[in-house]
A and B are shown apart, each in its own frame.
Chain A
Amino acid sequence: MASGVTTAAVSKETDRRAAPPKPARSGADLRWARAAVLPAACLAWLLATSAGWIAPGRFPSVPEFLDALRQIAVAGYADGTLAQHIGHSLKLIGLGFLAAVAVGLPLGLAMGWSRIVDAVAGPVFSLLRPIPPLAWIPLAILWLGLGDGAKIMVICVAAFVPNVVNAYAGVRGIDRSVLEAAEMLGTPAWRGLAEVIVPAAAPMIFTGLRLSLQTAWAALVAAELVGAFLGLGRVLNVAQQDIYPAMILVGMATVAACGWLTGRLLEWAERKAMPWHASARSAS
Protein backbone atom coordinates (compact mmCIF):
# COMPACT_ATOMS: atom_id res chain seq x y z
CA MET A 1 0.00 0.00 0.00
CA ALA A 2 1.27 3.44 -0.86
CA SER A 3 2.86 5.05 2.15
CA GLY A 4 1.91 8.48 0.83
CA VAL A 5 -1.69 7.79 1.74
CA THR A 6 -0.76 7.44 5.35
CA THR A 7 1.35 10.54 5.48
CA ALA A 8 -1.42 12.55 3.89
CA ALA A 9 -3.88 11.30 6.47
CA VAL A 10 -1.47 11.92 9.28
CA SER A 11 -0.54 15.38 8.15
CA LYS A 12 -4.22 16.27 7.99
CA GLU A 13 -4.47 15.16 11.55
CA THR A 14 -1.50 17.20 12.70
CA ASP A 15 -3.03 20.15 10.85
CA ARG A 16 -6.07 19.73 13.00
CA ARG A 17 -4.03 19.71 16.14
CA ALA A 18 -1.91 22.68 15.12
CA ALA A 19 -4.99 24.72 14.43
CA PRO A 20 -6.31 25.63 17.88
CA PRO A 21 -4.60 28.86 18.78
CA LYS A 22 -2.19 28.54 21.63
CA PRO A 23 -2.47 31.14 24.35
CA ALA A 24 -0.14 33.98 23.52
CA ARG A 25 2.82 34.30 25.80
CA SER A 26 2.83 38.03 25.35
CA GLY A 27 -0.30 38.74 27.30
CA ALA A 28 -3.94 38.89 28.05
CA ASP A 29 -4.74 41.50 25.41
CA LEU A 30 -4.42 39.01 22.57
CA ARG A 31 -6.52 36.45 24.40
CA TRP A 32 -9.10 39.15 24.81
CA ALA A 33 -8.91 40.00 21.11
CA ARG A 34 -9.30 36.34 20.24
CA ALA A 35 -12.44 36.02 22.33
CA ALA A 36 -13.85 39.21 20.82
CA VAL A 37 -13.40 38.23 17.17
CA LEU A 38 -16.52 36.10 16.74
CA PRO A 39 -18.86 38.51 18.59
CA ALA A 40 -17.33 41.33 16.55
CA ALA A 41 -17.96 39.40 13.34
CA CYS A 42 -21.61 38.93 14.36
CA LEU A 43 -21.87 42.62 15.14
CA ALA A 44 -20.35 43.48 11.76
CA TRP A 45 -22.91 41.19 10.14
CA LEU A 46 -25.74 42.95 12.01
CA LEU A 47 -24.42 46.40 11.08
CA ALA A 48 -23.58 45.64 7.46
CA THR A 49 -26.97 44.11 6.68
CA SER A 50 -29.10 46.61 8.58
CA ALA A 51 -27.21 49.54 7.06
CA GLY A 52 -27.78 48.07 3.63
CA TRP A 53 -24.10 47.66 2.67
CA ILE A 54 -24.86 44.11 1.56
CA ALA A 55 -27.56 43.59 -1.02
CA PRO A 56 -30.47 41.80 0.66
CA GLY A 57 -30.64 39.14 -2.05
CA ARG A 58 -27.02 38.15 -1.47
CA PHE A 59 -26.74 37.54 2.22
CA PRO A 60 -29.47 37.50 4.86
CA SER A 61 -29.74 40.01 7.69
CA VAL A 62 -29.91 38.84 11.27
CA PRO A 63 -33.74 39.15 11.54
CA GLU A 64 -34.16 37.29 8.24
CA PHE A 65 -31.93 34.52 9.52
CA LEU A 66 -33.91 34.24 12.76
CA ASP A 67 -37.20 34.26 10.82
CA ALA A 68 -35.97 31.46 8.58
CA LEU A 69 -34.83 29.53 11.62
CA ARG A 70 -38.23 29.94 13.23
CA GLN A 71 -39.98 28.99 10.00
CA ILE A 72 -38.12 25.74 9.54
CA ALA A 73 -38.18 24.84 13.22
CA VAL A 74 -41.92 25.38 13.68
CA ALA A 75 -43.72 25.25 10.34
CA GLY A 76 -41.16 23.20 8.45
CA TYR A 77 -39.45 23.74 5.10
CA ALA A 78 -38.62 21.37 2.25
CA ASP A 79 -41.12 18.75 3.49
CA GLY A 80 -39.99 18.62 7.09
CA THR A 81 -39.19 20.52 10.25
CA LEU A 82 -35.60 21.19 11.22
CA ALA A 83 -35.69 18.39 13.76
CA GLN A 84 -36.89 15.91 11.12
CA HIS A 85 -34.18 16.97 8.66
CA ILE A 86 -31.50 16.72 11.32
CA GLY A 87 -32.77 13.38 12.53
CA HIS A 88 -32.83 11.97 9.02
CA SER A 89 -29.32 13.17 8.19
CA LEU A 90 -27.96 11.90 11.50
CA LYS A 91 -29.53 8.51 10.90
CA LEU A 92 -27.87 8.22 7.48
CA ILE A 93 -24.52 9.37 8.89
CA GLY A 94 -24.78 6.85 11.69
CA LEU A 95 -25.66 3.92 9.44
CA GLY A 96 -23.08 4.72 6.77
CA PHE A 97 -20.39 5.40 9.32
CA LEU A 98 -21.07 2.18 11.24
CA ALA A 99 -21.06 0.14 8.04
CA ALA A 100 -17.74 1.71 7.02
CA VAL A 101 -16.21 1.01 10.42
CA ALA A 102 -17.54 -2.54 10.49
CA VAL A 103 -15.88 -3.34 7.17
CA GLY A 104 -12.93 -0.94 7.08
CA LEU A 105 -11.52 -1.45 10.54
CA PRO A 106 -11.14 -5.25 10.36
CA LEU A 107 -9.73 -4.95 6.85
CA GLY A 108 -7.19 -2.34 7.90
CA LEU A 109 -6.18 -4.36 10.95
CA ALA A 110 -5.85 -7.52 8.89
CA MET A 111 -3.81 -5.74 6.22
CA GLY A 112 -1.54 -4.32 8.89
CA TRP A 113 -1.15 -7.63 10.66
CA SER A 114 -0.76 -10.07 7.81
CA ARG A 115 1.52 -9.47 4.88
CA ILE A 116 -0.49 -11.97 2.86
CA VAL A 117 -3.75 -10.05 3.32
CA ASP A 118 -1.85 -6.85 2.53
CA ALA A 119 -0.37 -8.32 -0.65
CA VAL A 120 -3.77 -9.61 -1.85
CA ALA A 121 -6.01 -6.70 -0.86
CA GLY A 122 -3.48 -3.87 -1.22
CA PRO A 123 -3.50 -3.57 -5.03
CA VAL A 124 -7.31 -3.72 -5.24
CA PHE A 125 -7.53 -1.07 -2.55
CA SER A 126 -4.98 1.15 -4.31
CA LEU A 127 -6.95 0.74 -7.51
CA LEU A 128 -10.21 2.00 -6.00
CA ARG A 129 -8.86 4.55 -3.52
CA PRO A 130 -8.06 7.36 -6.02
CA ILE A 131 -11.75 7.61 -6.94
CA PRO A 132 -13.05 10.45 -4.73
CA PRO A 133 -16.08 9.44 -2.60
CA LEU A 134 -18.27 12.04 -4.26
CA ALA A 135 -17.63 10.44 -7.65
CA TRP A 136 -19.61 7.43 -6.42
CA ILE A 137 -22.79 9.48 -6.16
CA PRO A 138 -24.05 8.97 -9.74
CA LEU A 139 -23.35 5.25 -9.53
CA ALA A 140 -25.12 5.03 -6.17
CA ILE A 141 -28.15 6.75 -7.65
CA LEU A 142 -28.16 4.40 -10.65
CA TRP A 143 -28.02 1.39 -8.37
CA LEU A 144 -30.16 2.46 -5.45
CA GLY A 145 -32.18 5.48 -6.59
CA LEU A 146 -32.64 8.74 -4.72
CA GLY A 147 -33.61 7.11 -1.42
CA ASP A 148 -31.67 6.39 1.71
CA GLY A 149 -29.77 3.42 0.30
CA ALA A 150 -27.74 5.53 -2.12
CA LYS A 151 -26.78 8.00 0.62
CA ILE A 152 -25.69 5.25 2.97
CA MET A 153 -23.61 3.72 0.19
CA VAL A 154 -21.86 7.01 -0.58
CA ILE A 155 -21.24 7.77 3.10
CA CYS A 156 -19.93 4.26 3.60
CA VAL A 157 -17.54 4.55 0.65
CA ALA A 158 -16.34 7.94 1.89
CA ALA A 159 -15.79 6.82 5.47
CA PHE A 160 -14.27 3.49 4.50
CA VAL A 161 -10.90 4.67 3.22
CA PRO A 162 -9.61 6.61 6.26
CA ASN A 163 -10.59 3.69 8.48
CA VAL A 164 -8.59 1.20 6.46
CA VAL A 165 -5.58 3.48 5.97
CA ASN A 166 -5.26 4.49 9.61
CA ALA A 167 -5.95 1.07 11.13
CA TYR A 168 -3.28 -0.29 8.78
CA ALA A 169 -0.80 2.41 9.77
CA GLY A 170 -1.67 1.91 13.43
CA VAL A 171 -0.85 -1.79 13.38
CA ARG A 172 2.28 -1.25 11.30
CA GLY A 173 3.49 1.37 13.75
CA ILE A 174 3.28 -0.84 16.83
CA ASP A 175 6.56 -1.21 18.65
CA ARG A 176 7.99 -4.57 17.63
CA SER A 177 9.23 -5.40 21.10
CA VAL A 178 5.68 -5.22 22.46
CA LEU A 179 4.56 -7.77 19.89
CA GLU A 180 7.55 -9.96 20.54
CA ALA A 181 6.85 -9.89 24.26
CA ALA A 182 3.24 -10.97 23.70
CA GLU A 183 4.41 -13.71 21.36
CA MET A 184 7.06 -14.94 23.77
CA LEU A 185 4.55 -15.10 26.63
CA GLY A 186 2.36 -17.34 24.47
CA THR A 187 -0.63 -14.97 24.39
CA PRO A 188 -3.45 -16.58 22.42
CA ALA A 189 -4.39 -14.89 19.18
CA TRP A 190 -7.72 -13.32 20.18
CA ARG A 191 -6.24 -12.00 23.40
CA GLY A 192 -3.29 -10.58 21.54
CA LEU A 193 -5.68 -8.84 19.18
CA ALA A 194 -7.94 -7.47 21.91
CA GLU A 195 -5.29 -6.60 24.48
CA VAL A 196 -2.17 -5.78 22.50
CA ILE A 197 -2.81 -4.91 18.88
CA VAL A 198 -6.06 -2.93 19.06
CA PRO A 199 -5.06 -0.86 22.11
CA ALA A 200 -1.65 -0.11 20.62
CA ALA A 201 -3.20 0.92 17.32
CA ALA A 202 -6.07 2.79 19.00
CA PRO A 203 -4.72 6.35 18.63
CA MET A 204 -4.37 5.86 14.87
CA ILE A 205 -7.72 4.10 14.69
CA PHE A 206 -9.38 7.09 16.31
CA THR A 207 -7.57 9.41 13.94
CA GLY A 208 -9.14 7.39 11.14
CA LEU A 209 -12.55 7.59 12.76
CA ARG A 210 -12.32 11.37 13.04
CA LEU A 211 -11.21 11.79 9.44
CA SER A 212 -13.89 9.43 8.20
CA LEU A 213 -16.58 11.28 10.15
CA GLN A 214 -15.53 14.49 8.38
CA THR A 215 -15.64 12.93 4.95
CA ALA A 216 -18.92 11.24 5.84
CA TRP A 217 -20.56 14.62 6.45
CA ALA A 218 -19.20 16.04 3.21
CA ALA A 219 -20.46 13.00 1.34
CA LEU A 220 -23.88 13.22 2.95
CA VAL A 221 -24.31 16.90 2.07
CA ALA A 222 -23.18 16.32 -1.51
CA ALA A 223 -25.40 13.27 -1.96
CA GLU A 224 -28.42 15.10 -0.56
CA LEU A 225 -27.69 18.15 -2.71
CA VAL A 226 -27.79 15.97 -5.79
CA GLY A 227 -31.22 14.69 -4.85
CA ALA A 228 -33.08 13.68 -1.72
CA PHE A 229 -36.53 13.65 -0.13
CA LEU A 230 -35.52 14.74 3.36
CA GLY A 231 -32.35 15.89 5.11
CA LEU A 232 -30.11 18.91 5.55
CA GLY A 233 -28.71 18.72 2.03
CA ARG A 234 -32.27 18.85 0.73
CA VAL A 235 -32.88 22.01 2.78
CA LEU A 236 -29.85 23.58 1.08
CA ASN A 237 -31.00 22.38 -2.32
CA VAL A 238 -34.55 23.71 -2.01
CA ALA A 239 -33.33 26.99 -0.51
CA GLN A 240 -30.96 27.40 -3.45
CA GLN A 241 -33.77 26.84 -5.93
CA ASP A 242 -36.06 29.24 -4.04
CA ILE A 243 -33.22 31.81 -3.91
CA TYR A 244 -33.75 32.06 -0.16
CA PRO A 245 -30.37 33.17 1.31
CA ALA A 246 -31.58 33.11 4.92
CA MET A 247 -32.56 29.46 4.63
CA ILE A 248 -29.26 28.62 2.92
CA LEU A 249 -27.47 30.11 5.92
CA VAL A 250 -29.70 28.15 8.31
CA GLY A 251 -28.86 24.95 6.43
CA MET A 252 -25.11 25.65 6.41
CA ALA A 253 -25.07 26.57 10.10
CA THR A 254 -27.01 23.43 10.96
CA VAL A 255 -24.67 21.20 8.96
CA ALA A 256 -21.66 22.81 10.63
CA ALA A 257 -23.21 22.47 14.10
CA CYS A 258 -24.09 18.82 13.52
CA GLY A 259 -20.61 18.07 12.21
CA TRP A 260 -19.11 19.78 15.23
CA LEU A 261 -21.37 17.95 17.68
CA THR A 262 -20.73 14.50 16.23
CA GLY A 263 -17.02 15.32 16.28
CA ARG A 264 -17.22 16.20 19.97
CA LEU A 265 -19.14 12.98 20.59
CA LEU A 266 -16.33 11.03 18.95
CA GLU A 267 -13.72 12.88 21.01
CA TRP A 268 -15.68 11.99 24.14
CA ALA A 269 -15.74 8.35 23.07
CA GLU A 270 -12.02 8.55 22.40
CA ARG A 271 -11.31 9.81 25.90
CA LYS A 272 -13.52 7.07 27.37
CA ALA A 273 -11.91 4.39 25.27
CA MET A 274 -8.33 5.51 25.84
CA PRO A 275 -8.08 6.99 29.32
CA TRP A 276 -4.32 6.52 29.16
CA HIS A 277 -4.19 8.84 26.19
CA ALA A 278 -6.40 11.52 27.71
CA SER A 279 -3.71 13.79 29.06
CA ALA A 280 -2.13 14.11 25.65
CA ARG A 281 -5.43 15.08 24.07
CA SER A 282 -6.72 17.48 26.67
CA ALA A 283 -3.70 19.66 25.99
CA SER A 284 -4.96 20.50 22.54
Chain B
Amino acid sequence: MGIRYTGHPPMGPGRAAVLGGIGLLGFFGVWTLASMATTGLPRLLPGPWEVLQRAAALLGQPFAGDTLPGHLAGSLSRFAMAYGLAVVVGVPLGLAMGRFRPIEAVVAPLFEALRFIAPIAWVPFAALWFGTGVGGPVLVIFAGAFPPCLLSAYRGARLVDPQLLEAARMLGTPVLRTMTEVLFPAAIPSLVAGLRVAAGTAWQSLIGAELIIVSSGIGYLMVQGQAQISTATVMSGMIAIGVVGVAIDMALRQAEHAVKVRRGLS
Protein backbone atom coordinates (compact mmCIF):
# COMPACT_ATOMS: atom_id res chain seq x y z
CA MET B 1 0.00 0.00 0.00
CA GLY B 2 1.58 3.23 -1.13
CA ILE B 3 1.45 6.35 0.96
CA ARG B 4 -0.71 9.30 0.04
CA TYR B 5 1.61 11.91 -1.40
CA THR B 6 -1.11 14.45 -1.85
CA GLY B 7 -1.39 14.67 1.87
CA HIS B 8 -4.36 14.23 4.07
CA PRO B 9 -7.45 16.25 3.34
CA PRO B 10 -7.46 19.58 5.16
CA MET B 11 -8.62 18.95 8.71
CA GLY B 12 -11.24 20.97 10.50
CA PRO B 13 -10.17 23.67 12.93
CA GLY B 14 -11.32 21.57 15.87
CA ARG B 15 -9.11 18.64 15.05
CA ALA B 16 -6.15 20.89 14.33
CA ALA B 17 -6.64 22.59 17.70
CA VAL B 18 -6.72 19.24 19.49
CA LEU B 19 -3.54 18.08 17.76
CA GLY B 20 -1.86 21.41 18.41
CA GLY B 21 -2.89 21.14 22.04
CA ILE B 22 -1.33 17.68 22.21
CA GLY B 23 1.90 19.10 20.79
CA LEU B 24 2.01 21.98 23.26
CA LEU B 25 1.06 19.71 26.14
CA GLY B 26 3.86 17.36 25.17
CA PHE B 27 6.32 20.23 24.99
CA PHE B 28 5.44 21.64 28.40
CA GLY B 29 5.16 18.13 29.84
CA VAL B 30 8.68 17.19 28.75
CA TRP B 31 9.96 20.53 30.03
CA THR B 32 8.31 19.99 33.45
CA LEU B 33 9.54 16.40 33.72
CA ALA B 34 13.06 17.39 32.73
CA SER B 35 13.08 20.15 35.31
CA MET B 36 11.84 17.74 37.99
CA ALA B 37 14.52 15.25 37.01
CA THR B 38 17.23 17.85 37.50
CA THR B 39 15.96 19.29 40.80
CA GLY B 40 18.89 17.85 42.72
CA LEU B 41 21.44 19.54 40.50
CA PRO B 42 22.06 23.26 40.52
CA ARG B 43 18.94 24.81 38.99
CA LEU B 44 19.74 24.07 35.37
CA LEU B 45 16.20 23.89 34.17
CA PRO B 46 13.39 25.61 36.07
CA GLY B 47 9.91 24.42 35.17
CA PRO B 48 7.49 26.50 33.09
CA TRP B 49 5.57 27.64 36.17
CA GLU B 50 8.73 28.76 37.90
CA VAL B 51 9.82 30.78 34.87
CA LEU B 52 6.42 32.41 34.67
CA GLN B 53 6.59 33.36 38.34
CA ARG B 54 10.06 34.77 37.86
CA ALA B 55 8.90 36.80 34.84
CA ALA B 56 5.95 38.13 36.84
CA ALA B 57 8.27 39.08 39.70
CA LEU B 58 10.63 40.87 37.32
CA LEU B 59 7.75 43.06 36.16
CA GLY B 60 7.84 44.91 39.45
CA GLN B 61 11.10 44.08 41.12
CA PRO B 62 14.34 45.57 39.74
CA PHE B 63 17.10 43.24 38.54
CA ALA B 64 20.42 44.42 37.08
CA GLY B 65 19.42 48.02 37.68
CA ASP B 66 15.89 48.07 36.39
CA THR B 67 12.63 46.17 36.12
CA LEU B 68 11.85 44.05 33.09
CA PRO B 69 9.65 46.76 31.49
CA GLY B 70 12.37 49.32 32.21
CA HIS B 71 15.00 47.21 30.43
CA LEU B 72 12.62 46.64 27.55
CA ALA B 73 11.97 50.37 27.22
CA GLY B 74 15.70 50.98 27.04
CA SER B 75 16.10 48.33 24.37
CA LEU B 76 13.16 49.63 22.38
CA SER B 77 14.41 53.22 22.31
CA ARG B 78 17.79 51.97 21.07
CA PHE B 79 16.00 49.86 18.48
CA ALA B 80 13.83 52.75 17.31
CA MET B 81 16.79 55.07 16.91
CA ALA B 82 18.89 52.66 14.86
CA TYR B 83 15.97 51.36 12.82
CA GLY B 84 14.86 54.89 12.01
CA LEU B 85 18.37 55.75 10.93
CA ALA B 86 18.59 52.67 8.70
CA VAL B 87 15.28 53.56 7.02
CA VAL B 88 16.20 57.22 6.56
CA VAL B 89 19.57 56.37 5.01
CA GLY B 90 18.82 53.07 3.29
CA VAL B 91 15.55 53.86 1.52
CA PRO B 92 16.63 57.04 -0.35
CA LEU B 93 19.95 55.43 -1.23
CA GLY B 94 18.23 52.31 -2.51
CA LEU B 95 15.77 54.34 -4.59
CA ALA B 96 18.61 56.38 -6.05
CA MET B 97 20.51 53.20 -6.87
CA GLY B 98 17.49 51.81 -8.64
CA ARG B 99 17.00 54.98 -10.66
CA PHE B 100 20.51 56.18 -11.46
CA ARG B 101 22.94 53.70 -12.93
CA PRO B 102 26.11 55.62 -11.96
CA ILE B 103 25.07 55.62 -8.29
CA GLU B 104 24.38 51.92 -8.49
CA ALA B 105 27.74 51.33 -10.17
CA VAL B 106 29.54 52.99 -7.28
CA VAL B 107 27.50 51.79 -4.30
CA ALA B 108 26.70 48.22 -5.31
CA PRO B 109 30.27 46.81 -5.21
CA LEU B 110 30.97 48.45 -1.84
CA PHE B 111 27.68 47.24 -0.45
CA GLU B 112 28.25 43.70 -1.73
CA ALA B 113 31.70 43.60 -0.16
CA LEU B 114 30.49 44.90 3.20
CA ARG B 115 27.47 42.66 3.32
CA PHE B 116 29.55 39.57 4.01
CA ILE B 117 30.36 41.01 7.41
CA ALA B 118 27.82 39.80 9.96
CA PRO B 119 26.25 42.78 11.79
CA ILE B 120 27.49 41.43 15.08
CA ALA B 121 31.10 41.52 13.84
CA TRP B 122 30.85 45.32 13.91
CA VAL B 123 30.74 45.23 17.70
CA PRO B 124 34.46 45.91 18.32
CA PHE B 125 34.63 48.86 15.94
CA ALA B 126 31.28 50.13 17.18
CA ALA B 127 32.60 50.15 20.72
CA LEU B 128 35.86 51.77 19.62
CA TRP B 129 34.26 54.50 17.51
CA PHE B 130 31.08 55.34 19.38
CA GLY B 131 31.52 53.89 22.84
CA THR B 132 29.22 51.50 24.61
CA GLY B 133 26.56 54.04 25.55
CA VAL B 134 24.23 55.01 22.72
CA GLY B 135 26.33 55.15 19.57
CA GLY B 136 28.00 51.74 19.61
CA PRO B 137 24.86 49.63 19.90
CA VAL B 138 23.11 51.87 17.38
CA LEU B 139 25.82 51.12 14.81
CA VAL B 140 25.46 47.37 15.35
CA ILE B 141 21.66 47.50 15.01
CA PHE B 142 22.02 49.78 12.00
CA ALA B 143 24.33 47.21 10.39
CA GLY B 144 21.56 44.65 10.81
CA ALA B 145 18.69 46.77 9.54
CA PHE B 146 20.40 48.66 6.72
CA PRO B 147 20.81 45.93 4.05
CA PRO B 148 17.11 44.93 3.81
CA CYS B 149 16.08 48.62 3.73
CA LEU B 150 18.45 49.41 0.89
CA LEU B 151 17.73 46.25 -1.08
CA SER B 152 13.96 46.51 -0.90
CA ALA B 153 14.05 50.14 -2.02
CA TYR B 154 16.43 49.24 -4.83
CA ARG B 155 14.29 46.36 -5.95
CA GLY B 156 11.15 48.46 -5.74
CA ALA B 157 12.67 51.26 -7.80
CA ARG B 158 13.82 48.77 -10.44
CA LEU B 159 10.26 47.50 -10.78
CA VAL B 160 8.79 50.92 -11.54
CA ASP B 161 6.98 51.09 -14.86
CA PRO B 162 9.44 52.97 -17.13
CA GLN B 163 6.50 54.71 -18.79
CA LEU B 164 5.72 56.49 -15.55
CA LEU B 165 9.27 57.78 -15.35
CA GLU B 166 9.17 58.83 -18.97
CA ALA B 167 5.91 60.66 -18.41
CA ALA B 168 7.38 62.44 -15.40
CA ARG B 169 10.41 63.42 -17.42
CA MET B 170 8.34 64.61 -20.34
CA LEU B 171 6.30 66.79 -18.01
CA GLY B 172 9.51 68.34 -16.74
CA THR B 173 9.24 67.01 -13.18
CA PRO B 174 12.34 67.89 -11.14
CA VAL B 175 14.52 64.96 -10.02
CA LEU B 176 13.66 65.24 -6.34
CA ARG B 177 9.95 65.36 -7.03
CA THR B 178 10.23 62.36 -9.32
CA MET B 179 11.85 60.48 -6.45
CA THR B 180 9.21 61.39 -3.90
CA GLU B 181 6.12 61.25 -6.10
CA VAL B 182 6.85 58.60 -8.72
CA LEU B 183 9.62 56.33 -7.54
CA PHE B 184 8.75 56.14 -3.86
CA PRO B 185 5.01 55.34 -4.26
CA ALA B 186 5.79 52.71 -6.90
CA ALA B 187 8.37 51.07 -4.65
CA ILE B 188 6.02 50.85 -1.66
CA PRO B 189 4.93 47.21 -2.06
CA SER B 190 8.55 46.05 -2.06
CA LEU B 191 9.48 48.55 0.64
CA VAL B 192 6.92 47.58 3.24
CA ALA B 193 7.97 43.92 3.00
CA GLY B 194 11.64 44.86 3.25
CA LEU B 195 11.08 47.14 6.23
CA ARG B 196 9.46 44.28 8.11
CA VAL B 197 12.43 42.01 7.39
CA ALA B 198 14.70 44.83 8.52
CA ALA B 199 12.88 45.14 11.83
CA GLY B 200 13.49 41.44 12.47
CA THR B 201 17.21 41.63 11.73
CA ALA B 202 17.49 44.84 13.74
CA TRP B 203 15.87 43.28 16.80
CA GLN B 204 18.17 40.29 16.48
CA SER B 205 21.28 42.49 16.23
CA LEU B 206 20.11 44.52 19.21
CA ILE B 207 20.08 41.42 21.38
CA GLY B 208 23.58 40.55 20.23
CA ALA B 209 24.86 44.04 20.91
CA GLU B 210 23.30 44.15 24.35
CA LEU B 211 24.74 40.77 25.28
CA ILE B 212 28.23 41.97 24.50
CA ILE B 213 28.75 45.69 25.06
CA VAL B 214 25.78 47.40 26.68
CA SER B 215 25.06 47.62 30.38
CA SER B 216 21.32 48.14 30.22
CA GLY B 217 18.45 46.67 28.27
CA ILE B 218 16.95 43.25 27.97
CA GLY B 219 20.15 41.60 26.73
CA TYR B 220 22.03 42.91 29.74
CA LEU B 221 19.35 41.53 32.05
CA MET B 222 20.02 38.11 30.55
CA VAL B 223 23.78 38.45 30.90
CA GLN B 224 23.33 39.33 34.56
CA GLY B 225 20.94 36.44 35.02
CA GLN B 226 23.54 34.16 33.52
CA ALA B 227 26.28 35.57 35.75
CA GLN B 228 24.15 34.91 38.84
CA ILE B 229 23.20 31.44 37.57
CA SER B 230 19.53 32.36 37.58
CA THR B 231 18.22 30.30 34.70
CA ALA B 232 14.67 31.50 35.35
CA THR B 233 15.77 35.11 34.79
CA VAL B 234 17.51 34.19 31.54
CA MET B 235 14.40 32.38 30.34
CA SER B 236 12.18 35.31 31.33
CA GLY B 237 14.39 37.51 29.20
CA MET B 238 14.05 35.10 26.27
CA ILE B 239 10.27 35.15 26.59
CA ALA B 240 10.21 38.94 26.78
CA ILE B 241 12.42 39.21 23.69
CA GLY B 242 10.18 36.83 21.79
CA VAL B 243 6.99 38.63 22.82
CA VAL B 244 8.31 42.08 21.90
CA GLY B 245 9.71 40.75 18.62
CA VAL B 246 6.31 39.34 17.71
CA ALA B 247 4.62 42.60 18.75
CA ILE B 248 6.94 44.64 16.50
CA ASP B 249 6.31 42.26 13.63
CA MET B 250 2.55 42.41 14.14
CA ALA B 251 2.55 46.21 14.30
CA LEU B 252 4.49 46.41 11.05
CA ARG B 253 2.23 43.81 9.45
CA GLN B 254 -0.74 46.02 10.38
CA ALA B 255 1.01 49.05 8.93
CA GLU B 256 1.84 47.10 5.78
CA HIS B 257 -1.78 46.07 5.41
CA ALA B 258 -3.02 49.60 6.03
CA VAL B 259 -0.65 51.02 3.43
CA LYS B 260 -1.69 48.41 0.89
CA VAL B 261 -5.37 49.02 1.46
CA ARG B 262 -4.92 52.76 1.14
CA ARG B 263 -3.10 52.32 -2.13
CA GLY B 264 -5.68 49.87 -3.38
CA LEU B 265 -3.26 46.96 -3.61
CA SER B 266 -5.28 44.42 -1.68
Instruction: List residues of chain A with CB under 8 Å of any chain B CB.
Output: 4, 7-8, 11-12, 14-15, 18-21, 24, 26, 30-31, 33-35, 37-38, 41, 57-58, 113-116, 119-124, 127, 130-139, 141-143, 176, 179-180, 182-183, 186-189, 192, 196-197, 214, 217-218, 221-222, 225-226, 236-237, 239-240, 243, 245, 248, 251-252, 255-257, 259-260
**Closest 9 pairs between A and B when the two form their complex, measured CB to CB:** A119-B19, A240-B124, A138-B226, A120-B23, A179-B5, A130-B242, A256-B116, A189-B3, A218-B118
Q: CB-CB < 8 A to A15: which residues of B?
A: 147-148, 151-152, 155, 194, 197
B9 to chain A, nearest CB (A): 8
> Does B222 count as interface, using CB distance less than 8 angstroms?
yes
Q: Which B residue sits closest to A132, measured CB to CB?
A: B204
Given A192-B3, A196-B5, A248-B125: A225 touches B212 (CB 8 Å cut-off): yes
Would you mind naming 8 contact pairs between A and B with Cβ atoms under 8 Å apart?
Answer: A41-B110, A115-B11, A119-B16, A131-B239, A138-B223, A179-B7, A221-B120, A252-B121
Interface of B is mostly: helix
> Does B6 count as interface, using CB distance less than 8 angstroms?
yes
Q: How far is the CA of A114 from the CA of B5 in the complex (A)?
A: 9
Inter-chain contact A135/B5, CB cutoff 8 Å: no
Q: How far is the CA of A7 from the CA of B152 in the complex (A)?
A: 14
Which one of B8, B11, B112, B123 has the greatest number of beta carbons of chain A within 10 Å?
B123
Q: How far is the CA of A145 from the CA of B212 in the complex (A)?
A: 16
Inter-chain contact B108/A34, CB cutoff 8 Å: yes
Inter-chain contact B23/A119, CB cutoff 8 Å: yes
Inter-chain contact A139/B234, CB cutoff 8 Å: yes
Q: Which B residue sits closest to A217, measured CB to CB?
A: B118
Q: Which B residue sits closest to A252, measured CB to CB?
A: B121
Give which listed residue, B2, B8, B123, contacts A236 with CB less than 8 A: B123
Give which listed residue, B44, B118, B119, contacts A143 with CB less than 8 A: B44
Give which listed residue, B2, B121, B147, B225, contacts A251 with CB less than 8 A: B121
Which one of A132, A133, A225 has the greatest number of beta carbons of chain B within 10 Å?
A132
Q: CB-CB < 8 A to A119: which residues of B?
A: 11, 15-16, 19-20, 23
Inter-chain contact B241/A132, CB cutoff 8 Å: yes
Inter-chain contact B109/A218, CB cutoff 8 Å: no
Q: How far is the CA of A121 from the CA of B112 in the complex (A)?
A: 38
Q: How far is the CA of A38 from the CA of B117 in the complex (A)?
A: 16
Inter-chain contact B27/A248, CB cutoff 8 Å: no
Q: Which A residue sits closest to B114, measured CB to CB?
A: A256
Interface residues of B in 114-137 (CB under 8 A from A): 115-125, 127-129
Inter-chain contact A192/B110, CB cutoff 8 Å: no
Q: CB-CB < 8 A to A179: which residues of B?
A: 5-7
Q: CB-CB < 8 A to A134: which residues of B?
A: 120, 204, 207-208, 211
> Does B176 count as interface, using CB distance less than 8 angstroms?
no
Q: Which A residue sits closest to B250, measured CB to CB?
A: A4
Give which listed residue, B115, B128, B197, B225, contacts A12 with CB less than 8 A: B197
Inter-chain contact B204/A133, CB cutoff 8 Å: yes
A242 to chain B, nearest CB (A): 10
A210 to chain B, nearest CB (A): 13
B interface size (C-beta, 8 A): 81
Interface of A is mostly: helix
Inter-chain contact B123/A225, CB cutoff 8 Å: yes
Q: How far is the CA of A239 from the CA of B128 in the complex (A)?
A: 11
Interface residues of B in 215-264 (CB under 8 A from A): 219, 222-223, 225-226, 229, 231, 234-235, 237-239, 241-243, 245-246, 249, 253
Q: CB-CB < 8 A to B111: which residues of A?
A: 19
Q: Which B residue sits closest to A158, measured CB to CB?
A: B204
Given A120-B19, A138-B225: A180 touches B5 (CB 8 Å cut-off): yes
Q: How far is the CA of A31 from the CA of B3 in the complex (A)?
A: 54
> Does B10 count as interface, using CB distance less than 8 angstroms?
yes
Q: CB-CB < 8 A to A41: which residues of B?
A: 110
Q: CB-CB < 8 A to A187: which residues of B?
A: 2, 5
> Does B78 count as interface, using CB distance less than 8 angstroms?
no
Q: CB-CB < 8 A to B151: which residues of A?
A: 15, 18-19
Q: How far is the CA of A224 from the CA of B250 in the complex (A)?
A: 32
Inter-chain contact B2/A192, CB cutoff 8 Å: yes
Q: How far is the CA of A136 from the CA of B237 in the complex (A)?
A: 10
Inter-chain contact B6/A176, CB cutoff 8 Å: yes
Inter-chain contact B124/A236, CB cutoff 8 Å: yes
Q: How far is the CA of A135 from the CA of B235 in the complex (A)?
A: 9
